[in-house]
Structure 1
Amino acid sequence: MEMEIGQRFERRLGEEFGGDDGTRRVVARQARDLADSGQFETDTDRKLTVSVVVENLRDAPDDLELAERWNWWMGALELAYGGYDRFRVVRWAGGRE
């Protein structure tokens, strides 16, 4: 049975792509938000599962870190379908320059 995007997903991300706890947590949260939105399933006629996420993140260039891999995939979906920029991982430094 396919593992849903849930608690064990962060561990799987770490096994596959490394990254610190915070990065894995943010990517997992974005993946859950994407799954909850139903947008991926509507656009691709595929359920968003852990295997689908991992498969697509593996397609990213090898020199990219986990969050960059996620954003690379969201960029590809944005180009293909539109509406995926809201699921990108963005760093907020806070304060004013």
Structure 2
Amino acid sequence: MADALATFGGTPGEGRAVARAARDLADDGRLAADRGVEPAVTAETVVRELRRAPDGGPSERWNWWVGSLDVAYGGYRAFAVRRFRADGDATG
């Protein structure tokens, strides 16, 4: 997924942090339950949703989408990307 996220710029580390958050969201199962679609989180879904964001790099776009999910369903703030390292390790 990190390669697909390169479309939105940012650093490789930022892309990997977003990919990790996407895996966490997929593993949680919440989005599948809320949307009634399985699997709800795929690379294609993430790229499509991030294209809808007004602007920004991968983490800004991801956080825009997660914020939209939080408004619509509640409980998605935990999946926001808050920090990332240039080397790619998500830090929380």
Classify the TM-score, shorter chain. Answer: 0.7 to 0.9
Give the TM-score normalised by the residue count of structure 2: 0.84
Query: 1:66 maps to what in 2?
Result: 58
Taking the TM superposition and a 5 Å limit, the aligned residue runs for 1:43-58 are: 43-46=34-37, 47=39, 48-58=41-51
Aligned length, in residue pairs: 82
Query: 1:37 maps to what in 2?
Result: 28
Amino acid at match of 1:27: V
| Segments of 4+ moved more than 6 angstroms | none
Q: Percent identity?
A: 50
In structure 2, stretches of 5+ residues that fail to align are 85-92
Q: Say which one has the larger Rg.
A: 1
Give the TM-score normalised by the residue count of structure 1: 0.80
Query: 2:74 maps to what in 1?
Result: 82
Amino acid at match of 2:80: R
Deviation at 1:91, TM superposition (A): 2.6
Amino acid at match of 1:91: R
Aligned CA-pair RMSD:
1.2
